[in-house]
Amino acid sequence: MQKTTKLEDLIGFGHTKLGFFGEVQKKVQELQASNRELEQKRQEIQAILDGITDVIVVVTPDYRIQSVNQLFHSVFNVNTAENLLCHKVLRGRNHPCPECPMQKALETNSLNRGLSIIPLNGKNSHFEITASPLRDKNGHPESVLLLMRDVTMEKEYEAKYLYTEKMATIGLLAAGVAHEINNPLAAISGFAEGIKRRMPALDKCLGSSQSCRILADDFHEYIDTILTECNRCREIVKNLLTFSPRKQPEFLAIDINDLIEDIVKLLHHKLKHLPPGTVKLDLDRSIPYVRGISAELKQVILNLILNALDAIKSKGAISIHTRFEKDRWIIISVQDTGCGIPEKNIQHLFEPFFTTKPVGQGIGVGLSTCYNIIHQHDGEINVISQEGKGSTFEVKLPHSCD
Amino acid sequence: MMNIYKISVPEIFFGRGSLKYAGITARRLGAEKILFVSDSGLEKTGWLDLIFEILERENLKWIKFTTVVPNPRDLDIEEGARLYRQEGCDVVMSLGGGSPMDTAKGIALLTSNGGCIRDYEGANRIQSPLPPMIFLPSTAGGGSDISQFAIITDAKRNIKMSIISRTLVPNISIVDPILLMTNSEGLIITSAIDALAHAIESYVSLLASPLTEVRSLKAIDLILKHLPLALKYRQLDDLENLAIASTSAAIAFSNASLGMEHAIAHSLGGMLDVVHGLIHPILLAPVMRYNLPVCVNKIAKFGEIILGKRLQTDESTAHAGIEKLEKFCASLNVTTRLRDIVSDRETLPLVCQMAMYDSCLLTNPRPATWEQMLQICEEVW
């Protein structure tokens, strides 16, 4: 016996039947403690999930959203997503999307990747979606974890890169062709000049009979045609040669605003037939200089304004802006309210020999030359256009460092 | 000695057919799977099947533990506790006399508090609540279904350990006298005498209070009246009165504790595996005589009940009462000499020395040395 029992111990005033209340309280306290612990763990995990820069969605096989991370709300601009249908929330569709990678993940019970274009804020966003099944203890998929990464920017860069590549290839080809044509062209033009110089002597040799005169006139006309066409070819070749890589020429500081005003003056004879105010200038006087070749930049801006005049066909308006963007770019935009450019043509717009004008009114090297000039100035040229409403061409040039 | 009393009792269902509440009360206590403790003798009576039908009606599951022996040992209890855990039980139910019920208490204790029985010997050592216990006494005697005692044998030391705790009071006691119908004559006698010993010892106990004394006296009165009738006619009315007596005595002794007679009986039972109920007819009268000098008025009150009248003095009433008790016991055809149940007289000194450690001795009205106890034992050898 550990301790002698006393009478008081037998009565046990200090002791009552140990009941469940105390036990329950103890259990409740334990549960509360473990609940707090779990809540903390949950918050930690939530913090990790929220820290992930991809959108995370858990979806049940019947397309109901189970849970999402914080990013989901801001990307898709919704307050609550839980229990809603994913295709409804993501695309406003009433039926599952046919390209949904989650279906395949469920079917194969394995990871599945896919690309999806989802319209967000009026713009198409590209999402790379990884669907991985979440399995129950028997290994059957219970729900699907969707990791959605916005790759819109990457896709845009990729497209731009491919376009630049393509243009470089075309440029190389065009320059090669131009070089090859230049030599025979010189010969044709030289010999045609030679024939022209010899025409007075030939005139004398021919008699004054009517048939001889007709023959002489034919010769004069043909040689003039040959020479005119030779000049045209030379112009084309000259333009094409801008595609070929060249040594860094001497760039000078240029005031773009002055340059634009000069061009508008130059076009005075064309503009005076139009209603006043057709061309509106909105120039930011505070923009810094750009570095470049004045003549080339003049050619680009002239080209853009002439295109805009063509587009408005005497009715409508053209406005030319300059501004300074993000401490780096000088933006020149030429906006018209003209016919606009069909969607299918936009992607070919800067390719050489692409034209929508009737035969004889242009051969389609204007914009491709602009593209090359701007790229050689380390700038960019872009177009936004809506058919029937007009187009905006935007030229970005880096500012002069000094 | 004190003017604040305390009494611990379970919720008691009493009456013919009260057995039917076994299922619903278990369900109320949160039972899904019950450990059912009983003994093989009771299994043969068919009562278990009846109770299982009742449990089935409540969609309860159960697992039987019926390898209980008289004077249950700690080893048996550990086995029961293993079964309880292994089967995922949640309530302990017991049908039986003292042995199955004390086994059930031990199992409940070990499953919730761990360790071994020895750790809890003495008063108020249990620290955690026990699983709910529902007891169905099959005899009118032991009172374990009411009491805060569990008497369990330490197999190593060969002693009966008394574990006393309010927490050992079962949640529910269902006393259905119908169960007594299958009791043998011997079982009715030993049980009733056990209850009588409880009533007498708790009445003269140092911890007796007005709350327990009335119950002790009522129990004595009922047993003296109804035991002979019950033996003669085996009528349910008399058996029911014995059940009331047993329950009353249990309420009394559970709260007032016992005395020297039980201290010696526990010691004998632990060392020699003697059946509890057989010891009382031998020792009750001599122990009362020993105590008489310090509680003559109480024993006189007892005498008044057993004699049906008062003699001239308390003293004469008390003496006559004890003599009447001896005659009463003798009339029951049970032995009144110790030699009939103890094989070796030489063990008696050791038995009495061990009895000194029994907590029942604490509440005996007259202090005693082991030699004084030995003298009493020798008197009735």
Q: Report the complex ipTM.
A: 0.77
Contact A125, A119 (CB under 8 A): yes
User: Which B residues, 266 through 285, put their C-beta within 8 Å of a C-beta on chain A?
Assistant: none
**Closest chain B residue to the Cα of A12, Cα to Cα:** B124
Cα separation, B150 vs B155, whole angstroms: 15
Contact B89, B63 (CB under 8 A): yes
Give the gyration radius of chain A's Cα atoms.
38
A6 touching B (Cβ < 8 Å): yes
State pLDDT tens for residues A181-231: 888 888 898 999 998 898 888 888 887 888 888 888 888 899 999 998 888
pLDDT at B12: 95
Q: Nearest by CB to A18, which of B128, B255, B359?
A: B128
Contact B47, B95 (CB under 8 A): yes
CB-based contact (8 Å) between B362 and chain A? yes
What pLDDT shows up at residue B326?
A: 93
Nearest CA distance, A7 vs chain B (angstrom): 7
Over pLDDT 70: what percentage of chain B? 99
Interface contact B130-A18, CB threshold 8 A: yes
> Best of A5, A23, A25 to disrupt the B interface by mutation (most B CBs within 10 Å)?
A5
Within chain B, residue ranges assigned H as helices are: 21-28, 40-45, 47-57, 74-87, 98-113, 185-204, 210-233, 236-256, 260-272, 276-291, 296-307, 314-331, 348-355, 370-379
Q: Burial-class residue A345 by CB neighbours within 10 Å (0-12, 13-18, 19+).
A: middle
Q: Is B216 on the interface with A (CB under 8 A)?
A: no
Report the DSSP beta bridge partners of residue B95. B136
Q: Which of residues 17-46 of A touch B (CB under 8 A)?
A: 17-20, 22-23
Nearest by CB to residue A17, choosing from B127, B167, B206, is B167
- DSSP assignment of B198-263 equals HHHHHHHSTT--HHHHHHHHHHHHHHHHHHHHHHHH--HHHHHHHHHHHHHHHHHHHHH---HHHH
User: If 0-12 CB within 10 Å is exposed, 13-18 middle and 19+ buried, where does residue B378 land?
Assistant: middle
Residue A229's SS3 state is helix
Helix (H, G, I), strand (E, B) or coil at A173: helix
Min distance A25 CA to chain B CA atoms (Å)? 12
How does residue A300 score in pLDDT terms, banded at 50, 70 and 90?
confident
Cα angle vertex B254, ends B250, B258, to 5°? 95
Q: Which of B102, B103, B128, B131 is nearest to B115 (CA)?
A: B128
> In terms of Cα–Cα distance, which of B258, B304, B278, B279 is closest to B376?
B279
Q: Do A18 and B363 touch (CB under 8 A)?
A: no
Please report the number of interchain residue pairs, chain A to chain B, with beta-carbon separation below 8 angstroms. Answer: 64
Reference B76, options B190, B163, B153, B157; nearest CA is B153
Residues of chain A with C-beta less than 8 angstroms from the C-beta of B111: none
Radius of gyration of chain B (CA): 20
Strand, helix or coil for residue A398: strand
- pLDDT per position as a tens digit, B169-195: 999 999 999 999 999 999 999 999 999
Q: Provide the 3-class DSSP secondary structure of residue A13.
A: coil
Average pLDDT over residues B302-313: 94
Average pLDDT on A275-291 reads 85
CB contact under 8 A, B166 and A6: no
CA distances in angstroms from B277 to B63, B125, B195, listed in the order given: 30, 28, 9
pLDDT in tens, B44-95: 999 999 999 999 999 999 999 999 888 899 999 999 999 999 999 999 999 9
Question: In this structure, are residues A97 and A116 in contact, taking their beta carbons and an 8 Å threshold?
Answer: yes
Q: Which helix (H) or strand (E) holds A371?
A: helix A366-376
**CA-CA distances (angstroms) from residue A269 to A175, A252, A309?**
34, 29, 13
For A230: left if phi > 0, alpha if psi spans -120 to 50, otherwise beta; the answer is alpha
Asked if pLDDT for residue A248 goes beyond 70, the answer is no
Instruction: Give dist(CA A76, CA A87) in Å, integer.
Output: 12
What pLDDT shows up at residue A1? 45
Q: Closest Cα partner for A1 from B349, B69, B128, B361?
A: B361
Region A155-180 average pLDDT: 81
Please judge whether A9 and B165 are an interchain contact, meaning their C-beta atoms are less than 8 angstroms apart. no
Chain A within 8 Å of B46 (Cβ-Cβ)?
A: no
Contact A264, A271 (CB under 8 A): yes
In chain B, which among 130-159 make CB contacts under 8 A with chain A?
Answer: 130, 148
For A8, the closest chain B residue by CA position comes to: B207
Distance between CA atoms of residues B171 and B50, nearest Å: 21
Q: Considering the entire predicted model, what is its pTM?
A: 0.59
For residue B117, the chain A residues in CB contact (below 8 A) are none
Q: Which of B193, B361, B343, B176 is nearest to B266 (CA)?
A: B361
| CB contact (8 A) between residue B164 and residue A23 | no
Q: Exposure string (b/e) for B140-167, b if CB count within 10 Å is 16 or more?
A: bbbbbbbbbbbbbbbeeeebbbbbbbbb
What was the pLDDT predicted at A328?
82
Indicate whether A24 pLDDT > 80. Answer: no
> What is d(CA A379, CA A122) in angstroms, rounded to the nearest whole number?
27
Contact of A344 with A305, CB cutoff 8 Å = no
At B57, phi and psi to the nearest 5?
A: -60, -25
Tokens at A158, concatenated: 């990729």
Task: Provide the 10 A C-beta neighbour count for residue B122.
Answer: 18
- Is pLDDT at B377 greater than 90 in this prediction? yes
Name every chain B residue with its beta carbon within 8 A of the beta carbon of A13. Answer: 4, 6
Q: Kindly determine whether residue A11 and residue B6, on different chains, have CB atoms separated by under 8 Å.
A: yes
Ranked by mean pLDDT, the top range of A9-18, A136-145, B314-323 is B314-323
Identify whether the C-beta of residue B238 lies closer than 8 Å to the C-beta of residue B188. no
CA–CA separation, A144 vs A63, rounded Å?
9
Dihedral pair phi/psi, residue A123, rounded to 5°: -135, 145
pLDDT beyond 80 at B28: yes
How deeply is B302 buried, as exposed, middle or buried, from its count of CB atoms within 10 A (0-12, 13-18, 19+)? buried
Round to whole Å and give the CA distance between A209 and A353.
47
How close does chain A come to B341, measured CA to CA in Å?
28
Q: Tell me the three state secondary structure of residue A62.
A: coil
Per-residue confidence band for A177, with pLDDT thresholds at 50, 70 and 90: confident
Distance separating alpha carbons of residues B339 and B364, to the nearest angstrom? 25
Three-state DSSP state, A14: coil
Which residue of chain A is at minimal alpha-carbon distance from B121? A1
Which residues in chain B have their CB less than 8 angstroms from residue A24's CB?
none
